[in-house]
Amino acid sequence: MTRKILLNRRQILQLGLGGLTGIGTLALGQAKCLSKQLEKLDNPNRKFTVIGQASLKQRAAAKGLFYGAAVRINPLFQDKKFRANFIQECGALVPEWDLKWTSLRPDISSFNFTYADRLAKFTQSNGMLLRGHTLVWHESLPTWFQKEVNSANVAKILQQHIKTVVGRYARQVHSWDVVNEAIDIKSGRADNLRNTPWLQLMGPDYIEFAFRTAAQADPHALLVYNEYGLDYDSRDDEAKRVAVLKLLKDLKWRGTPIHALGIQAHLNGASTLFNSQKFRSFLGNVASLGLKILITELDVLDKNLPEDTTKRDQIVAAVYEDYLSAVLQEKAVIGVLTWGLSDRYTWLAEDNSSGKLLPLPFSLRPLPLDVNGNRKLAWNAIARAFDSAPRR
Ligand code: G3I
């Protein structure tokens, strides 16, 4: 008899099962089928040879692309070696935390830009693009939000937030994730909108409202809709791709100032469900709306892979190269960011409510650099994908 476990989104992402099974539940018995899939992924003869020592940002720039990563304030300013690696490899920076409501908004009438300003200054002094993440999301809302925001004042509060935050960094931010993760194919709604506080308080028009407000605050920034769970040839990901395309078409039809789709790309090393042809046709459909595409939060979870790190690195690198080689063929794709640069600071190893490390069977290796900042096969795979990408 198999026990059913209900997992939330973050647990699914962190367990790496979003690309393996239907989102939401996992019968314990299904876990055993993982090993059959792994046999297909593990090809020890696959080489990831890279020519030269150029960094990821240099290889991306050579093709008219950019590469960067998400970062938190403490590792960047307290870990000297990590900071040097970040400057060497990254041409773009996205704050993992410091531009979110909880970090910026101690209370309904004030803003705290201390950390965001420090990161903005860092990008300026190091010639990096700065990404803004994120203006409207249903997570990381401060505790006062629920108590003090209602349908009468929500528009004013959202407008004030966007105008103040986007206005402060006008002409500095390359692109804003204006709205993040607004689609939920299990919401039961015809428009598949997620039942968030924003939808409850403002109705579906909150999305267009946010984009129009951001465009007024900084007409130079690229305005992005950011989403996860779009990558695999699974029933749920296919349904989400259809729903996201419908949302984008509707926004464009209304003349909304939306310029790009952000694809988070939190991939699962143990999934064999990536279908490059199907995914490229989705990218082509997005591009045909006149939208650019950014890969905004790329990482490859290796939690369900063999403990042996050589095997794990080999499989993770194959996933990176197969995914990016397909994606970078689409010229509407303008940049790639990984969600972290070094395994030492991956969100996948942490319980994000407490910030404490998760009790994992082994330390995870999802990112381009290892815990000591050494380049891994994953780094080679990304480098090779940039080297073989068509020039923009
Ligand atoms: O900085 C505070 C610290 O002062 C406090 O003591 C501690 C304990 O409460 O929390 C610390 O803040 C944590 C923050 O990360 C910085 O480390 C928050 O609790 C924690 O919730 C937050 O988690 C972030 C999570 O989004 C929620 O905002 C993760 O680092 C970040 O990787 C994750 O990123 C999301 C993207 O924004 C959207 N796409 C999915 C992705 C992964 O979930």
Q: What is the DSSP string of 254-273?
A: TT----EEEE--EEETT---
Is residue 148 scored above 70 in pLDDT?
Answer: yes
pLDDT of residue 186: 98
**Any alpha helices (H) in the chain, and if so which ranges?**
9-15, 28-31, 34-41, 56-61, 73-78, 80-89, 101-104, 114-125, 143-148, 154-168, 197-202, 206-217, 235-253, 276-287, 309-327, 377-387
Q: Which of 8, 10, 96, 354 to mutate to test the pocket of ligand 1 (most atoms within 8 A of CB)?
A: 96
pLDDT of residue 184: 98
Q: Which of 12-21, 28-37, 132-141 is least confident?
A: 12-21
Name the residue of 97, 300, 344 whose CB sits within 8 Å of the most ligand 1 atoms, as the mutation to test its pocket.
97
How many whole angstroms separate alpha carbon 266 and alpha carbon 274?
12
- Residue with CA nearest ligand 1 atom 17: 355
Read off the pLDDT of residues 111-127 as tens digits, 9 standing for 90 and up: 999 999 999 999 999 99
- The question of whether 330 is a catalytic residue gets the answer no
pLDDT grade for 10, boundaries at 50, 70 and 90: low
Centroid of ligand 1 to alpha carbon of 97 (angstroms) = 6
How far is CA 158 from each of CA 114, 161, 173, 276, rounded to the nearest angstrom? 21, 5, 19, 38
φ/ψ of 92, rounded to 5, equals -150, 150
Side chain identity at residue 241, one-letter code: R
The angle formed by the CA atoms of residues 232, 234 and 237, to the nearest 5 degrees, is 65
Residue 187: strand, helix, or coil: coil
Considering 89, 96, 227, 297, which one is annotated as catalytic? 297
Q: What is the pLDDT of residue 27?
A: 42
Interval 22-57: pLDDT, tens: 333 334 445 555 566 666 677 888 999 999 999 999
CA distance 248 to 250: 5
Cα(229)–Cα(237) distance, rounded to whole angstroms?
Answer: 6
Atom of ligand 1 nearest to the CA of 10: 43
Residue with CA nearest ligand 1 atom 20: 352
pLDDT, mean over the chain: 92
- DSSP of 56-123, one letter per residue? HHHHHHTTT-EEEEEE-HHHHHH-HHHHHHHHHH-SEEEESSTTSHHHH-SBTTB---HHHHHHHHHH
| pLDDT given at position 2 | 39
Across the range 300-327, mean pLDDT stands at 96
- CA–centroid distance, 220 to ligand 1, in Å, is 28
Interval 52-109: pLDDT, tens: 999 999 999 999 999 999 999 999 999 999 999 999 999 999 999 999 999 999 999 9
User: Which residue's C-alpha comes closest to atom 24 of ligand 1?
Assistant: 352
- 208 labelled catalytic: no
Which residues lie with the beta carbon below 6 Å from any ligand 1 atom? Answer: 10, 72, 96-97, 100, 139-140, 180, 228, 264, 297, 347, 352-355
Structural tokens at position 116: 């965001």
Residue 98 neighbours by CB distance under 10 Å: 22
* Domain 9-45+53-388, CATH among 2.70.98.30, 3.20.20.70, 3.20.20.80, 3.40.50.620: 3.20.20.80
Question: Residues 89, 181, 227, 330: which is the catalytic one?
Answer: 181
In whole angstroms, what is the distance from residue 361 CA to residue 85 CA? 27
Asked, as a colleague might, if the bond just before 134 is cis with ω within 30 of 0, I would say: yes
| DSSP strand pairing (66-71 vs 25-27) | unpaired
CA 25, chain centre distance (Å): 23
**Whether pLDDT at 179 is above 50:** yes
Residue whose CA lies nearest to ligand 1 atom number 32: 347
The arithmetic mean of pLDDT across residues 249-268, rounded, is 98
Are the C-beta atoms of 335 and 66 separated by less than 8 Å? yes
Return the percentage of the chain with pLDDT > 90, whole number.
85
Distance from the CA of 182 to the center of ligand 1, in angstroms? Answer: 19
Index of the ligand 1 atom closest to the CA of residue 180: 38
- The residue whose CA has the least distance to atom 37 of ligand 1 is 96
Cα–Cα distance measured from residue 195 to residue 321, given in angstroms and rounded to the nearest whole number? 35
pLDDT of 354: 80
3-state secondary structure of 308: coil
How many A from CA of 224 to the centre of ligand 1?
Answer: 21
Indicate which atom in ligand 1 lies nearest the CA of residue 264.
Answer: 39
Residue for token pair 């690195």 = 313
